[in-house]
Structure 1
Amino acid sequence: MKMRVGIDARPLSRQLSGIGYYTLHLVKELSKAGVETVLFSPSPLTVDLSGLDRCSIVCKSFKRLATRQIWSEFFLPFLLKKFDLDVFWGPAHRLPFWLPHNVAGVVTIHDVIWKRYPETMRKSTRLLETAFMPGSVQRADLVIADSRSTAADLLEFFGLADSKIRIVPLAPRLSETGGRQSGPLLPGRKYFLFVGTREPRKNLSSLIEAFGTLSEAARREFSLIIAGGDGWGNVSPAEKVAELGLQDCITVKQFLSEAELVEYYKQAYCLVMPSLYEGYGLPILEAQSFGVPVITSNVSSMPEVAGEGAVLVDPHSVESILVGLEKLIVDEALREDLSLKARENAGKYSWAKTAELTASSFEEAISLKNGNAHDINY
């Protein structure tokens, strides 16, 4: 089915985060599949999409948060009327209030943190989610969720019909070709790796405490590397490390390029992600794609994403996280088994499959809008 898809490209107009990478991968894969896309943004994009076929970009030059929001709610709907769109997609929890009546609407919801753990969010973000997410999911013809966990949250908090939700999983975004360095990153020392933005729900304080509780012998053999950019909430793992006197075995990396991150994944002994909540938890699949086993939380989407290539722990218990670390340290056979299962699990996912399911959701939304609903098997 040929279609023209309008896309809210705001996630591509700032430094890329998880949702930005998600949007970028899908725009590229949709282009490869021959889907015509029109990207709308209140400010210039930070990525180069000039090489894509059948992809148009409509940008303004608003930079302030308030003016960007006004643009999305009041100017964007009028812009959309000038294009012969079949469907408009909001990849980041938003659909315009005045979406043209003849255009189908699809919105992707990655998580509902503001409902589950509002205290772990920046206040401004929580207010925006509270103001715009409920209306967006109600106006949408179909809602895409990254995981069964997020889909269950949508059913619980918004009372959506199960038939209105499509589960479309994500895929690893890095590959072996991302970069190479010579020699081990930490000569003579194995390391556990954490990857993610530093914010309260990532539970870094409990992870650092658990690692600091390991035996001295274990801390001489193993290190912990915490990699990721600053978030909010005054989360400072470096301060926690200094407070506990663990500078000799825990390293905090402020920024890693993609090439560097590939190397850190490839050489890691294990990824540790004991978050309080994740709508998906993409670092889990990223690590597993390199055959790296995972220690992650037994809540929300993380068991679903990790599959059998992980040790599950209670994120609310430092003792449970400690036990998970010790399991992988003392049981090399377990680690090797989890490594094989990690690769198998990550191999089930690809951005081409994600784009295919997303495009199918667009087609179904168009049929629903036109009153020609038909059965599609997922």
Structure 2
Amino acid sequence: MSQPPKILLSAGMIQGGLSGVGRYVVELANRMRKFDTIELDLAGFDADRHLFPDFEDAQWISIPASATSGVQNVLWHQFKLPGLLKQHAYDLLHIPSYRRIVACPQIPQLVTIHDCAPFRLRDKYGVLRGIFGRQLSPWLARRCQAVLAVSHFTKQDLIDFFKLPEDGIEVIHNGLSREVYRPQSPESLSAFRAKHGLDQPYFIFVSRLEHPGKNHVRLIEAYEAFRQSCDCQIQLVLGGAPWHGAEVIQQRVADSPYAKDIMMPGFMEEAELPLWYAASEALVFPSLIEGFGLPVVEALACGVRVVSSDSGSLPEVGGEAAIYFDPHSVPDMTHAMEQLHAESPEQAQARIERGLQHAASFDWDIAAKLTCQSYLSALIVKN
């Protein structure tokens, strides 16, 4: 092509940048905007426009606010978006969520799939959404010119559940903003603790308050058992915005004999998130299923030890730096927390160094370049 290909990336499901998909789209789009090998536009809600400051108005397609609900959002992508693709003469469409794959886009389509949760956690979704995820989504994915997975675990799930050919799936790991997620100075940590009244050590879990998928209830039970067996005053911080089933988690915290030591500060702004990590004793990440698990990499990059579920992609993301447990077993989770707490200063420092080295392999700049290459490859194959 004499001109760079014109790409449309849908940002119509990023939930204000608060979700994993939201972080993915924001990080990639703002980097690929600077590439001269493609011409990138976005389709999204005007309420999210501020997340993409380098995009000009001519590069932004507004999705009407009436399409914020799940069903209306899917319908907009299926029936309104194809006409806009033709009107603006796009060469390729990138959908970063399998639930928004367009059945008949009339141009090459690339999809990023983060996980196969409807197959792994059947209780996570309602009946209709579950049927859509398990029956219709695999058919839609097979109609795409290219499929990206954010982990090798997700790739294998796509082979097993979506029945996609192995050579048709490319793995591009999520990245890390190195200028943001890094070890913090003692002065910064001291000021941060004083600001938030953090006068005791704490374990932290960063995730939206979602039950049962994120496994908060078992974490609270394991924390209670840990406190009973350990002569220490370590607190538990559950950071994240309320989501489906949040009331179950909130009630379990209220019922805990250690309720006064369990903090729920709500959504954590990215400007302070590295400090929340770095000031903690460890990240405890008990999720039942993750396609990637960004907090694990973020915590490691901040010089923090990690105790993690051994489910899904998490061993892939945490590497040899983390201590793993069965997320369905409260005793196993408790034992992992005890194991971390019992480490000597030398063992703890060695684990931190392994984590920093492992986290260095994840980079949003690399992810953006590889994604751009996937765009160009998909167009070459099509032509």
Question: TM-score, normalized by length of structure 1?
Answer: 0.89
For 1:144, what is the secondary structure of its paired residue?
Answer: strand
- Find the partner of 1:355 among 350, 364, 368: 368
- Find the partner of 2:154 among 146, 150, 154: 150
Q: Which segment drifts farther, 338-347 or 257-266?
A: 257-266
Offset at 1:336?
1.7
Asked if the contact 1:89–1:105 (Cα under 8 Å) also holds between the matched residues in 2, the reply is yes
What one-letter code is carried by the residue in structure 1 that aligns with 2:253? Answer: V
Q: Which segment drifts farther, 300-309 or 167-176?
A: 167-176
2:170 maps to which residue? 166
- Find the partner of 1:205 among 186, 202, 217: 217
Q: 1:67 to 1:50 in 2, by over 3 A?
A: same
Asked if the contact 1:12–1:45 (Cα under 8 Å) also holds between the matched residues in 2, the reply is no
Quick check: 1:37 aligned with 2:40?
A: yes
User: What are the superposed Cα offsets for residues 57-98 of structure 1, whole Å, 9 maximum, x if unpaired?
Assistant: 111424242443322111111110123322110011132111
Q: 1:25 to 1:84 in 2, by over 3 A?
A: same
Trace 1:81-230 onto structure 2 (pairs within 5 A).
81-93=86-98, 94-100=100-106, 103-123=107-127, 125-130=129-134, 132-173=136-177, 174-176=180-182, 182-184=191-193, 185=196, 187-199=198-210, 200-216=212-228, 218=230, 220-230=232-242
Asked if the contact 2:184–2:302 (Cα under 8 Å) also holds between the matched residues in 1, the reply is no
For 1:202, what is the secondary structure of its paired residue?
Answer: coil
> Aligned residues, how many?
367
Asked if the contact 1:224–1:250 (Cα under 8 Å) also holds between the matched residues in 2, the reply is yes
Asked if the contact 1:178–1:259 (Cα under 8 Å) also holds between the matched residues in 2, the reply is no
Q: 1:283 to 1:336 in 2, by over 3 A?
A: same
- Distance in 1 separating the partners of 2:116 and 2:199: 42
2:64 maps to which residue? 61
Gaps of 5+ in 2: none
2:254 maps to which residue? 242
1:280 maps to which residue? 292
- Distance in 2 separating the partners of 1:209 and 1:70: 41
Offset at 1:51?
2.3
Asked if the contact 2:201–2:280 (Cα under 8 Å) also holds between the matched residues in 1, the reply is yes
Gaps of 5+ in 1: 371-378
Asked if the contact 2:141–2:147 (Cα under 8 Å) also holds between the matched residues in 1, the reply is yes
1:73 maps to which residue? 78
User: What are the superposed Cα offsets for residues 281-314 of structure 1, whole Å, 9 maximum, x if unpaired?
Assistant: 1110111110111111112100000011100111
Trace 1:286-305 onto structure 2 (pairs within 5 A).
286-305=298-317
Asked if the contact 1:277–1:299 (Cα under 8 Å) also holds between the matched residues in 2, the reply is yes
1:231 maps to which residue? 243
For 1:46, what is the secondary structure of its paired residue?
Answer: helix
Asked if the contact 1:13–1:45 (Cα under 8 Å) also holds between the matched residues in 2, the reply is no
- Distance in 2 separating the partners of 1:250 and 1:45: 33
- Find the partner of 2:359 among 346, 351, 354: 346
Asked if the contact 1:328–1:334 (Cα under 8 Å) also holds between the matched residues in 2, the reply is no
Asked if the contact 1:192–1:268 (Cα under 8 Å) also holds between the matched residues in 2, the reply is yes
2:379 maps to which residue? 366
Trace 1:241-260 onto structure 2 (pairs within 5 A).
241-260=253-272
User: What are the superposed Cα offsets for residues 189-213 of structure 1, whole Å, 9 maximum, x if unpaired?
Assistant: 2111000012211111111111101
